Amino acid sequence: MSNPQWLLWARQIQAIAQNGLTYTEGVFDRERYTQLSALAQEI
């Protein structure tokens, strides 16, 4: 059985957020990626 589309989107958002948190140097970017991560976890 395949995963629902919303779950795939949440995983993609989480991956983008994690990459951003790993490689960003900007304080404001870090805040945005943290918010994306929280959103993906909520989904």
Predicted pLDDT at 8: 94
Q: How does pLDDT run across 32-43, given as a tens digit for each residue?
A: 999 999 999 998
In sequence order, the 6+-apart residues with CB closer than 8 A to the CB of 34 are 17, 21
* Residue range(s) defining the domain that contains residue 38: 5-42
Average pLDDT in the 15-33 region? 96
pLDDT in tens, 2-14: 889 999 999 999 9
Closest to 30 (Cα-Cα) out of 19, 41, 40? 19
> What is the number of domains present in the chain?
1
**pLDDT in the model for residue 38:** 96
Query: Which pTM value belongs to this model?
Result: 0.84
